[in-house]
């Protein structure tokens, strides 16, 4: 499937989603053999650097969840850019989901498996009131480990995850299956 999840957009992609997809297709840089041989890295920074394209991405990520969230959580690091922009555009709060050891006050922590080891994400214990409705954003959905851990972490903190949004989904890696039962909006799938 390409573009937005059809379960989110029963009538097909919206005009905002189509505009964002066009920008992603036009501006995303594909870098062969980075960070290691055989990997085709998709660099979204040119999409973010173009003002009109960044605006279309922000608007398209927020669109299917309009009015359903109180805060936007961004996963370190490029998710911070998206979450801050969506929060500003919608007049909601923003929460940073950080890698372990970066936050100064008491935290909730969630560990998750990587291909070769483990990692952990954290949020401050006092950043969200219980029952806060949260939209979770990141740049890329690959295996779903990081985004799944972020959702679990937010729920551990007492939040209600209303959905997840990503700019780009790497469909062959099965991340959507890891997030089964959660609404996921991907603006482009490769």
Three-state DSSP at 188 gives: strand
Q: Which of these is catalytic: 22, 63, 98, 115?
A: 115
Nearest to 187 by CA among 33, 47, 92, 66: 47
Please tell me the distance from the alpha carbon of residue 129 to that of residue 159, in angstroms, as a whole number: 7
- The number of beta carbons lying within 10 Å of the beta carbon of residue 34 is 12
Tokens of 83: 């979450």
Q: Which residue has the tokens 């605006």?
A: 55
**Nearest alpha carbon to residue 70 among 137, 151, 159, 9:** 159
- Determine whether 110 is an active site residue: no
Whether residue 78 contacts residue 139, with contact meaning beta carbons closer than 8 Å, is answered with: yes
Answer yes or no: 188 catalytic.
Answer: no
- Of 19, 42, 63, 78, catalytic: 78
* Phi–psi pair at 109, nearest 5 degrees: -130, 145
Positions marked catalytic: 78, 115
């Amino acid at each position: 499937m390409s573009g937005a999840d059809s379960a989110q957009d029963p009538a097909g992609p919206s005009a905002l989603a189509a505009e964002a997809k066009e920008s992603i297709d036009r501006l995303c840089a594909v870098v062969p053999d980075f960070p290691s041989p055989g990997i085709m890295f998709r660099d979204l920074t040119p999409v973010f650097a173009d003002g009109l394209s960044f605006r279309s991405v922000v608007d398209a990520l927020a669109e299917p969840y309009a009015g359903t969230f109180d805060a936007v959580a961004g996963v370190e690091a490029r998710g911070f850019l998206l979450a801050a922009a969506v929060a500003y555009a919608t007049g909601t709060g923003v929460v940073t989901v950080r890698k372990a050891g970066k936050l100064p006050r008491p935290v909730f922590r969630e560990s998750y498996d990587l291909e070769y080891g483990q990692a952990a994400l954290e949020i401050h214990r006092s950043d969200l009131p219980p029952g806060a409705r949260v939209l979770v954003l990141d740049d890329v959905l690959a295996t779903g480990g990081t985004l799944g851990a972020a959702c679990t972490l937010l729920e551990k903190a007492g939040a209600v995850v209303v959905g997840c949004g990503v700019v780009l989904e790497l469909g062959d890696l099965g991340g959507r299956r890891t997030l089964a039962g959660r609404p996921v909006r991907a603006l482009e799938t490769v």
